[in-house]
Structure 1
Amino acid sequence: MAENSLLDAHILKPGDDTEDIPDSYVIFITENDVMKGNQPIYPVERYVTAGENKVLFGDGSHILYVNGKYRGNDEIGKLMHDFSCTDPDDMNYEVLAKKARYFKQDEKGVATMCKILEDMRNEAAQKAELKSARETAERLIKKGKMTLDEIAECVPLLSIDELREIEMKVIQLA
């Protein structure tokens, strides 16, 4: 995984032994049981195959899929319950319940959450506006009736350089 290489390069200093690199974990908590095996956790392992033999790659990188629908009476089941729980008083883990209470019931926490949601909404709106501007510019370029400068006047969100990139893409696809 390229991400692991970047992490390794960041962690290691010149002259360090690669054995000093700590294991890395990527954990995906899925909303549903994507593997459909009714298990709480699905470890993903990488193997090297040589003929009929499979040997665990053993590079220290680990991938785990956690079934968000799992509700067993164990630590993972309780944690998945808490992750989807809307009432902090019904949560199993006090540390999560305390944070949930802060963001749902404390004045400062509610304000913080509102700000986060507002920022997310604004970011989504900006992305949608930019996508729409790019699509409009692409359609205008395909029609071939306007110069890039004229399109830039009609679609002010995009710079001339961005319009040139779109134009190159349109030319390549033609």
Structure 2
Amino acid sequence: MNKQNDEERQQLLLSKIAQFRLFDDDFMSKVFEDDIEATEFLLKVILQRDDLKVMESKGQVTIKNLLGRSVRLDIKAKDKTGKVYNIEVQRADEGADEKRARYYSAILDANTLLPRQNFKDLPETYIIFITEHDVLKGGLPLYHINRTIKENGMTFCDESNIIYVNGEFRGEDEIGKLMHDFSCINPDEMNSKLLAEKTRYFKKDEKGVKRMCKIMEDFAREEKEELKIQIATELLEDGAYPIPRIAEISKLSENKVKELAESLQAIAR
């Protein structure tokens, strides 16, 4: 029975992988993770620049916030000038809310400077949302959001940039071709040979498929663990249950629940 269950689970994973597109964030983050060339290509198209040089690219980067909500970034990258980029893919419109972009920008800033480091050292940042739908509903391929001074229209140069990329846009320009590629299930239909090659590796190459199956299983375990922690945290904040009962309900160890309780008490102080 266990062997049969394992085979069924494997077939389910393979069928999911076969349907993945770059608009699926877990898949996209692995396609671009640690791939400087692919990340550089993506940023050059979106920013419409030829001089950009990426030095670092990481996928599924978790930024902890002890005083509030933590986040997991799809892609975090840095270029040779020190500019920092967060690239997010959003299929659901609500996942690309304007205040989410604001929060990601803020938490990226909050985790950039070292203690007592000068504020002038804060790097220029880009929060880039690639959305499957035209969530801002302007019919534009790109939306650049920057702060301006209301009274005279001058730019407020805090070097904080937010860009929305309209995934519905199609055209013969580079953005149109890129959004076509993000929508493709079959890598053979992609315009970019680079993206097609990386997508093909995770979909059709034996080693790549095995790696993607492992990644999906790891993500599933992480999500279950995060759900347990969320349940335990809510019960601790409610204050109606003792730690052994919370451990039983959340399926966490008593030691883990005690650690969460201590963290909450530290925050309260």
The TM-score normalised by the length of structure 2 is: 0.49
Identity %: 43
2:111, 2:257 → 1: CA distance? Answer: 32
1:154, 1:21 → 2: CA distance? Answer: 45
Shift of 1:35: 0.7
Match of 2:189 in 1: 90
| Matching of residues 70-81 of structure 1 within 5 Å | 70-81=169-180
Is 1:38 the equivalent of 2:139?
yes
Highest relative contact order (Cα 8 Å, sep 6+), 1 or 2? 2
Q: List alignment gaps of at least 5 residues for structure 1.
A: 168-174
1:5, 1:120 → 2: CA distance? Answer: 26
Tell me, yes or no, if the aligned pair for 2:141 and 2:166 is still in contact at 8 Å.
yes
Instruction: Note closer, same or farther for the CA distance 1:22–1:132 as it changes in structure 2 (3 Å cut).
Output: closer
Shift of 1:161: 4.7
The TM-score normalised by the length of structure 1 is: 0.71
**Which AA in structure 1 matches 2:158?**
D
Shift of 1:137: 5.5
Shift of 1:61: 2.8
Tell me, yes or no, if the aligned pair for 2:203 and 2:209 is still in contact at 8 Å.
yes
Q: List per-residue Cα deviations over 1:40-91 (Å, max 9, x = no partner).
A: 0000020123xx3221112333221101111122100110110120101100
Measured on the aligned residues, the alpha-carbon RMSD in Å equals: 3.3
Instruction: Note closer, same or farther for the CA distance 1:149–1:125 as it changes in structure 2 (3 Å cut).
Output: closer
Tell me, yes or no, if the aligned pair for 1:68 and 1:80 is still in contact at 8 Å.
yes
Which structure has the larger Rg over C-alpha atoms?
A: 1
Q: Determine helix, strand or coil for the equivalent of 1:104.
A: helix
| Matching of residues 154-173 of structure 1 within 5 Å | 154-155=248-249, 156-157=252-253, 158-163=256-261
Q: List alignment gaps of at least 5 residues for structure 2.
A: 1-104
Is 1:121 the equivalent of 2:220?
yes
Q: Determine helix, strand or coil for the equivalent of 2:140.
A: coil
Count how many residue pairs are aligned between Structure 1 and Structure 2: 155
